[in-house]
């Protein structure tokens, strides 16, 4: 049996030096693995492509013959996280077949043995479609990256942040406690996730109607419905800075694309009624949190005017034409696109 092959895709948007650092870390961990790294500049418009191209040509680490070849390509259009990664996947698979596809954030740096651990897990667990890493910050503090699928009750609990509600709805809390060992989860954050190519051929690539957020949730749900499961592999560790490109930690107002993705996810996968109830649950939970803040003098945790922005967004969506809410919503194919 031949050794498995690996395609690694790293998406850049205006962080060229950090992206190259992530690529160097990935190349180090791919030493001895038959594979390739594709860096996609997602139409940064700031000279990122030329900077990375020139830096790769002069970099000492690309001359290490034990490591994989590294390419930098331009997407030509910033269609978001899913579209940019799809571009890189199609580009790599148009050149040759790979057994596994690895998505790595531009601000994530694989620790020693991390990629081998994911490959070994997928190789020896034939029912596993996706495998993701234990993620920690530069300070060593673990990040929440393993989750349950979003639900109506999960929306209420997550927005309310009240102990009694959380205890009553503990089976619906979306973020899972950080696993101490390899375990099955519903979905994983896309900072470091390896995918079986055969699964992508079956279910398609990322749905490009998600610009940012919920795209990996949707992909894992589609895999689950097709009979594949997702595993959190504790022995694969990755250092992650987080929110460098999105600026999520500094949001003053909730972005339109987050609201669009949340609503589209529920409508697509659960229908319009569930989307309406999930929105209502989120707003009720937000109101309960605001009341708790007033009584207990708690600090603000949501972006300014969050409740108003979500309400206005949902009401506007009711009167605008939106994509059909269907379990059969078309997704981006893999094999056909790769050969075009």
Residue 264, CA distances (Å) to 32, 34, 271 in order: 42, 38, 9
Q: What is the mean pLDDT of residues 37-64?
A: 92
pLDDT above 50: residue 337? no
pLDDT above 60: residue 329? no
**R_g over Cα of the chain:** 20
DSSP 186: S
Main-chain phi, psi angles of 43, to 5 degrees: 55, 50
Please indicate, yes or no, if residue 334 is contained in any of the structural domains.
no
Please indicate, yes or no, if residue 148 is contained in any of the structural domains.
yes
Task: Give pLDDT tens digits for 126-167.
Answer: 999 999 999 999 999 999 999 999 999 999 999 999 999 999
Q: What is the pLDDT of residue 326?
A: 41
Q: What is the mean pLDDT of residues 318-329?
A: 58
Q: What is the mean pLDDT of residues 204-208?
A: 97
Please indicate, yes or no, if residue 103 is contained in any of the structural domains.
yes
Please indicate, yes or no, if residue 297 is contained in any of the structural domains.
no
C-alpha span between 148 and 186 (Å, rounded): 5
Please indicate, yes or no, if residue 122 is contained in any of the structural domains.
yes
CATH of the domain at 56: 3.90.550.10
Q: What is the pLDDT of residue 66?
A: 67
pLDDT above 90: residue 340? no
Q: What is the mean pLDDT of residues 60-84?
A: 88
Please indicate, yes or no, if residue 277 is contained in any of the structural domains.
no
Q: Which of 99, 108, 158, 154 is nearest to 134 (CA)?
A: 108
Please indicate, yes or no, if residue 18 is contained in any of the structural domains.
yes
Q: What are the residues facing 104 on neighbouring strands?
A: 10, 192
Q: Considering Cα of 241, then 247, then 248, then 251, what sign does the dihedral take?
A: positive
Q: What is the pLDDT of residue 332?
A: 81
Q: What is the pLDDT of residue 336?
A: 52
Q: How many structural domains does the chain have?
A: 1
C-alpha span between 94 and 77 (Å, rounded): 19
Q: What is the pLDDT of residue 65?
A: 55
Please indicate, yes or no, if residue 115 is contained in any of the structural domains.
yes
Run of H or E including 133: strand 128-136
Task: Give pLDDT tens digits for 280-309.
Answer: 999 999 999 999 998 987 888 899 999 999
The chain-wide mean pLDDT, for the chain, equals 92
Q: What is the mean pLDDT of residues 179-186?
A: 97
* Domain interval for residue 32: 6-154+172-245
């Amino acid at each position: 049996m031949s050794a498995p092959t690996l395609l690694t895709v790293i998406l850049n948007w205006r962080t060229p030096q950090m992206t190259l650092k992530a690529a160097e870390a990935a190349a180090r961990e791919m030493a001895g693995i038959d594979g390739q790294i594709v860096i996609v500049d997602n139409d940064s418009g700031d000279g990122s492509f030329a900077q990375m191209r020139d830096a790769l040509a002069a970099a000492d680490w690309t001359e290490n013959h034990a490591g994989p070849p590294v390419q930098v390509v331009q997407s030509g259009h910033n269609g978001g996280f899913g579209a940019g990664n799809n571009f890189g996947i199609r580009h790599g698979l148009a050149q040759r077949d790979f057994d596994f596809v690895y998505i790595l954030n531009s601000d994530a740096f694989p620790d020693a043995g991390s990629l081998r651990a994911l490959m070994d897990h997928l190789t020896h667990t034939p029912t596993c479609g996706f495998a993701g890493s234990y993620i920690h910050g530069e300070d060593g503090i673990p990040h929440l990256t393993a989750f349950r699928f979003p639900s109506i009750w999960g929306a209420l609990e997550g927005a309310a942040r009240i102990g009694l509600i959380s205890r009553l709805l503990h089976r619906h809390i979306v973020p899972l406690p950080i696993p101490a060992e390899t375990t099955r989860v519903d979905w994983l954050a896309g900072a470091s996730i390896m995918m079986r190519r055969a699964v992508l051929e079956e279910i398609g690539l990322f749905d490009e109607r998600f610009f940012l957020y919920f795209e990996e949730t949707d992909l894992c749900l589609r895999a689950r419905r097709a009979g594949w499961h997702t595993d959190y592999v504790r022995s694969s560790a990755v250092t992650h800075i987080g929110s460098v490109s999105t600026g999520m930690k500094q949001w003053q107002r909730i972005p339109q694309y987050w609201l669009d993705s949340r609503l589209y996810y529920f409508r697509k996968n659960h229908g319009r009624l569930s989307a309406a109830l999930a929105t209502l649950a989120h707003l009720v939970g937000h109101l309960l949190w605001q009341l708790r803040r007033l009584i207990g003098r708690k600090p603000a945790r949501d972006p300014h005017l969050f409740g108003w922005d979500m309400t206005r967004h949902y009401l506007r969506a009711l009167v605008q034409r939106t994509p059909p809410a269907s379990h059969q919503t078309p997704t981006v194919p893999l094999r056909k696109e790769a050969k075009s």
